[in-house]
Chains A and B, each alone.
Chain A
Amino acid sequence: MFENSFTSEKKIKIFFYGFIFLISLYLLRKGAVFAPDSGSYLAMSSFRSLGYPLFLKAYGYFFQDAYGVLVAVQVGTGVLAVDYFLRTLNKHFSFSSFVYMMLFLFLFAPYFVLHHIGNYILTEALCYPFFLIMLSFLVKFLKGNETKFLLTSVVFGLLLTLTRSQFIFLWPGFLILITYMFYKNRSILSFFGRTLILAAIILSGQMIERTYSYILTSSFKTVPFVGYQAIVLPLYLSKERDVTLFESPQEKAFFKAAYEGLQEKKAHINSANDINPLFHYSGFYNIICHRISGKAALQHLDPNPYIRDGQLASVSLTLIKNNFFLT
């Protein structure tokens, strides 16, 4: 336990943690919320990274479909991660109890304002606390230059990339930090050692992800979800005559079905009318991705998820190339 201005003020500490406990109780009472994407995590769909589906599988083994406990686990992890992050910062930087409490509420806000990440059955519930813990260890690494902190941080980075592929942006960041520490300390041996650790962990992550994919789909490849996401905006901005851009009958049929779906659900830019297209698109993103283009892709494109994802990426590129300058 760190000794700092916050932990030394016991009364404030009890009052504040009591307040956080009350917020947590409110979140528990709200219960689990199923988002449009939740089903694919629970069903271990092939286009989802392995982290969250496996977590849900392990959870289901113990608690079956009692999702109230899941909310408790997700919110509890969030509280612990926020507390750990702030304690780490407070160990190295001076800030008052008041700032500590305000920052706690600010960092914990995604749990009880707008996003409700502890209640939703979505990857954010794991990624947000993991990211805070990873950053805490990186702060310790920057301060102490100890490899054990870097290693722990990279392991959390691995867990993050296995939960959401979005977190691949961490790897160049890690390399920059390792190079910076070499620039500061001039130890070539630790530089090579740390770079090797990083490379080994990135490669092991690739192996784990591909093995998981192989078990699910018999394809030793990474999760196919690039095309699914890349197609959403080009479809939102597409025009009916764009169907002539495609030569393959599969792609033509897909585009026709998706375009009809967009019109039917009023999810196309033409249906925005008085609404700002930015908000209109933002509100329809999930519907276009899963219910319109995802559904049309399943009906008209290749049954193999990897080939299908490639086809979606190709359709997306064709639309972008031809509609880059909207007229």
Chain B
Amino acid sequence: MTFYVKTIINSLGGHWSFFVLMVFAFFVFVKNILQPSSAKETFLMFFMFNIGNLMLVALFEPLIARYTLYTATPLWSFMLILLSSLFMTKPLEKAS
């Protein structure tokens, strides 16, 4: 799987272009997507738990960082929801 990801990144112009794209995407992400307060709160909550988990795992397994999928997959899922909202015309946040 890592091989395929690497091949795709390389065919897109290598790690540096990927890095520039990620930095650009991050700014777009912060500026446009985290406008609704509940989206911001939910994102920061997932982020906080992910960082907490990574810090704890790093104490014992600094090189391999296993057991981080618990917190990483929900965070990435929510980021994908936020990114997908870029292509939607309706607001991200539903009225409660």
Contact = CB atoms under 8 A, between A and B. Distances in A.
A169 B74 contact: no
B49 A95 contact: no
Interface in A204-230: 226, 229-230
B88 A96 contact: yes
Interface stretch (A42-50, A62-70, A128-136, A256-264): A128-136
Interface centre among A102, A109, A135, A164 (most CB of B within 10 A): A135
Secondary structure at the B interface, as helix, strand, loop or mixed, is: helix
Interface string A96-135: 1001001100110110011100000000100110011001
Contact of A282 (B53, B64, B96): B64
Contacts of B81: 89, 93, 95, 99, 103
A12 to B, nearest CB: 17
Interface residues of A, number: 49
B63 interface: yes
A80 to B, nearest CB: 16
A96 B52 contact: no
Given A85-B74, A113-B1, A281-B64, A169 B49 contact: yes
Nearest to B48: A173
A113 B69 CA distance: 12
Interface of B: 1, 38-39, 41-42, 45-46, 48-49, 52-53, 55-57, 60-64, 66-67, 69-71, 73-74, 76-78, 80-81, 84-85, 88, 90-94, 96
